[in-house]
Amino acid sequence: MALQLAVNGTSNGRDRRGAEQPLLIARDLRKHFPVKGTRGKSVQAVDGVSFTVAKGETLGIVGESGCGKSTLARLLLHLLVPDAGELVFDGAVVAAPAGIAVDALRRQVQMVFQDSYSSLNPRMPVRDSVAFGPFVQGRKKQEARDIARDILGKVGLDPDLFGPRYPHELSGGQKQRVNIARALATRPRMVILDEPVSALDKSVEAQVLNLLSALKRQFDLTFVFISHDLNVVRYISQRVLVMYLGRVVELGPADAIFERPQHPYTQALLASRPSMDPARRIDEPPITGDPPNPIDPPSGCRFHPRCPLTERVCETTEPERGRWEGPQSHIAACHMRNPASGHSRFGGV
């Protein structure tokens, strides 16, 4: 799908650098969590992640549990401070004196959390939870409440019916709509969605996904959509980023990733999806080996212990990522992509 530029008046007023400037650039983000009790060891949750997000697109981020997706999400909002690397929002460096302050960033970027029992304050009626954001960002209480009413209506919940309710009185899908309303109440330009539909039943999941697409058009939003569910990511994203053990493994247009995956890990992920087609039976599991330990990651290419095509160079050297040339470019961090690496299988899988 080509990039869609919405011609809607809501966010153009805040657009600083025009359509060519990516809304978000992440460069070499790193976040390690020291482990108590061991000397010097740390969980290398995010280890040198770089990517861009263009205005108006949806970037899907995919990976298994423990690959660092949630940590990355929190880094993008500066809920965690990166150990290294930088974030550039609409051309301004985040948390730098000449760039954009974290507070100002939070007026333009918001997050939708996974629906869990703890994503909403159990003691607050839903409309107050939604109104909290605008209230904190300077609106008066009544104004904030009016905004909450309005936005609840836009996510498909009747504000008079659902506003005074408490979270335990709502179904999973309704709660997630509230989470979305809360994120949109402050009219951000970008929304980071961290596993927003993973806890929902399949039918409800479809409703929420459609709601998200409609809202994205209506409010001229940019999405970063994090999930472990490949089908969902394909349904909603224009571009997809695949993560493994804290690193970017593949990045490219959604169709390209799903139809012509370049990295062995991506290929294995796609191959391990159960299929409805009885003719497609696989005899062996696509991935072998033990799940990785983020405290003590493998040397060189982090996937090499489980890769069926691994060679000596994969153990010693970290693969190069390849250059980002434009929205259609498709890069993979694998020695087989790089002629200079010495991998015998360069040129294609």
- What number of other Cβ atoms are within 10 A of residue 318's Cβ? 14
Distance, in Å, from the CA atom of 177 to the CA atom of 212, rounded to the nearest integer, reads: 9
Q: Which of 166, 258, 324, 346 binds another protein (CB under 8 A)?
A: 166
By CB under 8 A, tell whether 338 contacts another protein.
no
Provide, rounded to whole angstroms, the least separation between the CB of residue 100 and another protein: 13
Nearest distance from residue 136's CB to another protein, in Å? 4
The rounded distance, in Å, linking the Cα atoms of 333 and 262 is 9
Q: Pick one of 98, 161, 276, 279: the residue that binds another protein (CB under 8 A).
A: 161
Contact indicator for 47, 85 with CB cutoff of 8 Å: no
How many residues bind another protein (CB under 8 A)? The answer is 45
| Pairing of the two strands 84-89 and 24-34 | antiparallel
Nearer to another protein, 90 or 335 (CB): 90
Nearer CB in complex with another protein: 43/197: 197
Per CB under 8 A, the list member of 99, 125, 286, 300 interacting with another protein is 125
Rounded Cα–Cα distance for residues 330 and 349 (Å): 15
Burial class (CB in 10 A: 0-12, 13-18, 19+), 274: exposed
**What are the DSSP calls for 197-220, one per residue?**
TTTS-HHHHHHHHHHHHHHHHHHT
Alpha-helical (H) ranges within the chain are 9-12, 69-76, 102-108, 126-136, 141-154, 159-162, 172-184, 202-219, 230-236, 254-259, 264-271, 312-316
Q: Report helix, strand or coil for 306.
A: helix
Backbone phi and psi for residue 250, each to the nearest 5 degrees, phi listed first? -155, 145
The single residue among 9, 20, 97, 123 that binds another protein, judged by CB under 8 A, is 123
Residues 244, 261: contact at Cβ < 8 Å? no
Query: Of residues 39, 168, 280, 281, which one binds another protein by CB under 8 A?
Result: 168
Site string (40-79) toward another protein, x via CB under 8 A? ----------------------------------x--x-x
Give residues 83-112 in contact with another protein (rule: CB under 8 A): 102-103, 106-107, 110-111
34 binds another protein (CB under 8 A): no
User: Which one among 11, 52, 176, 186 touches another protein, defined by CB under 8 A?
Assistant: 186
113 lines the binding site for another protein (CB under 8 A): yes
Residues that bind another protein (CB under 8 A): 74, 77, 79, 102-103, 106-107, 110-111, 113-114, 116, 118-125, 129, 132-133, 136-137, 156, 161, 164-169, 173, 179, 182, 186, 202-204, 206-207, 209-210, 235
